[in-house]
Chains A and B, each alone.
Chain A
Amino acid sequence: MKTTPEILMVDDNPADIDLTSEILAQSKGRFHVNAVTDGVEAISYLRHQGKYAQAPVPDLVVLDLNLPRKDGCEVLSNIKADPALAKIPVVIFTTSQASTDITRSYKLGANCYLRKPGNLPEFVAVVQSMAEFWLGFASLPQREKR
């Protein structure tokens, strides 16, 4: 039986979380989207700490770079350094177009770097293609038993 893909979105902008969730809710595939708004929360979520003890293991992490408390690059390197988490694909989804951010993210093990487009039609297209590719076409590692 195919389980519903789980997405963890890490973004401090509630508008982007709303919009992304809505676009995913309206797309063909079915996804569960969970969101946290800072880097420390993201790591707690992924490690099932505290209130996240029952949180599902995500199939895809969508990570903003500019985050409070622990920035996106730190979260990314924490994930990739943790044997239990390293296999989860991480898509960087950010406003930054700086080549330093792009290079650094890939060096830290990001699986994909997407820039948030400045207008609605492109934003919709990017989110839909991301979900279609990562949770449709791509073969993902087996989800860890909990």
Chain B
Amino acid sequence: MLPNPTNGKLRILLVEDEPADVELALRALRQAGLDAIGDVAQTVEEFTDLVRKNSYDVILADYKLPNWNGMGSVEVLRQEGLDVPVVVVSGSLGELTAVECIKGGAADYVLKDDLARLPEAARRAMREKKLRSDHKRAQEELARSNQELEQFAYVASHDLQEPLRMVATYTQLLAERYKGKLDADADKYIHYAVDGALRMQKLVQDLLALSRVGRPGLRVRSTDCTAALQAGLQNLETAIQESGARVEHAQLPVVMADSSQLVQVFQNLIGNAIKFRGSETPVIQVSGEAKGKEWVFTLADNGIGIPAENTESVFVIFRRLNTREEYPGNGIGLSICKKIIERHGGRIWVESEVGHGSTFKFTLPVTAIEQQGERTEP
């Protein structure tokens, strides 16, 4: 599309078959200080051709034309992917038609015998258009910067793995070879280095998992939650055996979701329930039921619970409520869950009381949302 070569003048397209009405409209604008250059289109072909070639600030469309309807211009703009405000300028049509025009996407509606209102209508339509495009630009900017950040997190955590592997492997080799051959301090320092490297490895792996959730390629398909839960439990086999944890669940629903991500959600939530257990053997009850247009899943445990003031912040990345000595971890697990659930169009939250266990709940829409660039498979 050509740039707007009008030196500050408004570029207007009039959809109008009466030359006198064109003149009247332009005069009304000029009288209000809106200097305008006008093109005229009478047919859908002329209109389409002109909007393709030129960039207009506003379109003034008569409702009734011999072979066309002014509202058709809104439709053409939509098909062309153009956002140019359309002000319907017409003889009296009655309230119903006026409302229909607005609902159909016209920015405003001005009567031909009240053209004094036209300049303000045009100004407002252009203001609104500017707000719309500013908003769109800001959103695009935000999406782009989010994507860059995710890409950065992915590359950084991916490339960190290799040097980290060297540090972990060789400090472990040092520990193995020289344990007891240096002095007690040396053994302790080597132990700190090994421990630090292994923790950092876990951190990098979890960060990678988190950034993977944000990458395109969510494979939404029919997923049996009972199977997803079981896969998660299998990954937790050691922790379940060591703690003697019991996971009780009835048949869970089949939902539209990315199955590997759903496994991760169950795994992280149940892993937490086991990790943050109290003095009793952990018992975790899992259920899922339809409520209106969503599935609501509940995972209730008998663990140490979460103070009321922290029930929101536990989902924030790196947020930990306990010391590493008491409960190891890096504070990424729940933020992964939150990101996965929200990406599926659901919500996640926790209800808890210190000493009385925690109940995590999350929802998934019954009909899967389709995101841009992602697939929904039956």
Contact = CB atoms under 8 A, between A and B. Distances in A.
Interface of A: 13, 15, 19, 95, 116, 118-121, 123
B168 A120 contact: yes
Contacts of B165: 95, 116, 118
A15 B162 contact: no
A95 B168 contact: no
Nearest to B170: A15
Contact of B176 (A15, A118, A120): A120
A121 B170 contact: no
Given A118-B165, A119-B168, 4 more contacts: A95-B165, A116-B165, A118-B169, A119-B201
Contacts of B170: 15
B162 A19 contact: no
25 contacts: A13-B166, A15-B166, A15-B169, A15-B170, A19-B169, A19-B173, A95-B161, A95-B162, A95-B165, A116-B165, A118-B161, A118-B164, A118-B165, A118-B168, A118-B201, A119-B168, A119-B169, A119-B198, A119-B201, A120-B168, A120-B169, A120-B172, A120-B173, A120-B176, A123-B169
Nearest to B161: A95
A116 B168 CA distance: 12
A109 B201 CA distance: 32
Contacts of A120: 168-169, 172-173, 176
Nearest to B175: A120
Contacts of A15: 166, 169-170
A132 to B, nearest CB: 20
A13 B169 CA distance: 13
Contacts of B198: 119
A83 B170 CA distance: 39
Contacts of B173: 19, 120
User: B interface, by DSSP: helix, strand, loop or mixed?
Assistant: helix
A139 to B, nearest CB: 32
Interface string B236-267: 00000000000000000000000000000000
Interface in B142-175: 161-162, 164-166, 168-170, 172-173
A121 B171 CA distance: 12
Contacts of A118: 161, 164-165, 168-169, 201
A121 B172 contact: yes
Interface string B186-201: 0000000000001001
Nearest to B173: A120
Contacts of B168: 118-120
A123 to B, nearest CB: 6
Nearest to B169: A120
Nearest to A118: B165
B205 to A, nearest CB: 8
A15 B164 CA distance: 13
Contacts of B164: 118
Contacts of B166: 13, 15
A95 B168 CA distance: 14
A123 B201 CA distance: 15
A15 B168 CA distance: 12
A28 to B, nearest CB: 19
A44 B198 CA distance: 38
Nearest to A122: B169
B250 to A, nearest CB: 35
Nearest to A119: B168
Contacts of B201: 118-119
A117 B278 CA distance: 34
A17 to B, nearest CB: 12
A95 B164 CA distance: 11
Contacts of B161: 95, 118
A121 B173 CA distance: 9
Nearest to B198: A119
Contacts of A116: 165
A119 B172 contact: yes
Q: What 9 pairs between A and B have smallest CB-CB spacing? A: A120-B172, A118-B165, A120-B169, A95-B162, A119-B168, A118-B201, A15-B166, A120-B173, A118-B168
B312 to A, nearest CB: 34
B262 to A, nearest CB: 19
A13 B173 CA distance: 17
Contacts of A19: 169, 173
Nearest to B166: A15
| Listed residue (B169, B173, B198, B201) with the most chain A CB atoms within 10 angstroms of its CB | B169
A119 B168 CA distance: 6
| Listed residue (B161, B165, B170, B201) with the most chain A CB atoms within 10 angstroms of its CB | B165
Nearest to B202: A118
Contacts of A13: 166
B87 to A, nearest CB: 54
Nearest to A15: B166
A14 to B, nearest CB: 10
